[in-house]
Structure 1
């Protein structure tokens, strides 16, 4: 996948915020706050253009974090894909949220690299499908750095190992789910690094019943430092978006 073509007036700087182990609800609220501020700025810019006044560049922010054990259900998901009741959630130290991204149910937890790009796609390209493919491609290239051949399965969002047609054991290593408002994105990707995969046994992951879930640790047979994976992923994302990362 080739980098995006730069156009006059686009802001290709991405501010990276590393939040560490972050509460899911608080992070979701922070995403909403960033998205609302960017959408409001776009409205002011449109009014400024109509009045012949200067405009202000819209920001792009990438939040990177891990979450305590949590299950999230997208707006197109089925509640019955969560296989735990409230008492069982408490037993496993997990919480549950119905949220406004696309997709079905997924799990977030320690050892998983979660990325929330709050990007103004007017700064890059206004194509949500292409945006999803860019996020997938950054993960695919990161896995290639570990000599793992990953790819896509037609009709299924995310990144897979054993993705080739007829492969005996297709398994998802990265889930994606996004929301876009006025071409400003939120939510994003969940990349299993050293994730406790037993927590996926309490859901029907992404509504898919016939495929497995995996992690980088499981594939390599060893734990992998998250900061190491972050750096590789950020490098590939910067190339694919023709972006400058600001720490």
Structure 2
């Protein structure tokens, strides 16, 4: 089947985590269904690709390989912090989503791009790294871990973007959480990504000022489009 690198893009603004999760599942299922029908019926109907940006109200999510004890709050503590908690079906451990954070959900049929989940993650990381470079923040990777880090080669290592994905028949969902102006105190209530000896940071903390999150979204969207060689279509 011919590759389709058109990607429908939409900024969901602020959406409850559960609603966004259900929407992702619905879209992924429709793409997988089309792939199955193509195979069964020997058809070549192109599959769609999507990229969504969103901000969530305060929420903690635990990946399928994560440890529940890495959430350091009980139900009363969650209520006091006005946060919700979900066990979900992505990879990785526990993380936080909240206002001031760009959460990206690429729902891509990787057969339209490349069938390599590690390359997929590295390409998403590179988009974040290049976006940070646009703001003169030097970032990179931490060997053995996903996500984007600052000073990964020394004791000051700190994470600025977490990642966790699910892939079904080469169709992706979930994605990344990029701290722009996020309230970092919420990370004190978890063992972020199961790593208890590393710090978490944000663009605001690194630059010493609030950052225009809408501007960052534009830069990041362009970096993702360039690196994946995709044609973004606003919807």
TM-score, normalisation: structure 2: 0.98
Aligned pair partner of 2:161 in 174, 177, 185: 174
Matches within 5 A, 1:82-161: 82-161=71-150
**In angstroms, what is the RMSD of aligned CA positions?**
0.8
Aligned to 1:3: none
Deviation at 1:194, TM superposition (A): 0.3
C-alpha distance after superposition, 1:193-230 (max 9, x if no partner): 00000000000000001100000000001111111111
User: Equivalent residue for 2:180?
Assistant: 193
My pick for the range that moved more, 188-197 or 234-243, is 234-243
Specify the alignment match of 1:202 in structure 2. 189
For 1:59-78, list aligned pairs within 5 A. Answer: 59-78=48-67
Corresponding residue for residue 226 of structure 2:
239
Q: Note the residue ranges of structure 2 that are not aligned, 5 or more in a row.
A: none
Q: How far does the alpha carbon of each residue in 1:23-42 deviate from its partner, in whole angstroms, 9 at most, with x for none? A: 00000000000000000000
193, 196, 202: which one pairs with 1:215?
Answer: 202
2:217 to 230, 236, 245: 230
- Which residue of 2 is the match for residue 23 of structure 1? 16
Runs of 4 or more consecutive aligned structure 1 residues displaced over 6 Å after TM superposition = none
Task: Tell me by how many angstroms 1:87 deviates.
Answer: 0.5
Question: Helix, strand or coil for the counterpart of 1:152?
Answer: coil
Classify the secondary structure of the residue corresponding to 2:61: strand
Q: How many residues align?
A: 234
Counterpart CA distance in 2 for 1:225 and 1:37 is 35
**Mean Cα displacement is larger for which, 132-141 or 226-235?**
226-235
CA distance in 2, matches of 1:226, 1:120: 28
Superposed displacement of residue 163, structure 1: 1.3
Corresponding residue SS for 1:233? helix
Report deviation, 1:47: 1.9
Unpaired stretches in structure 1, ≥5 consecutive residues: 1-7
1:89 CA drift (Å): 0.2
Q: Matched residues in 2 for 1:130 and 1:108: separation?
A: 24
1:48 and 2:35 correspond: no
CA distance in 2, matches of 1:106, 1:139: 18
* Aligned with 1:38 (options 31, 45, 48): 31
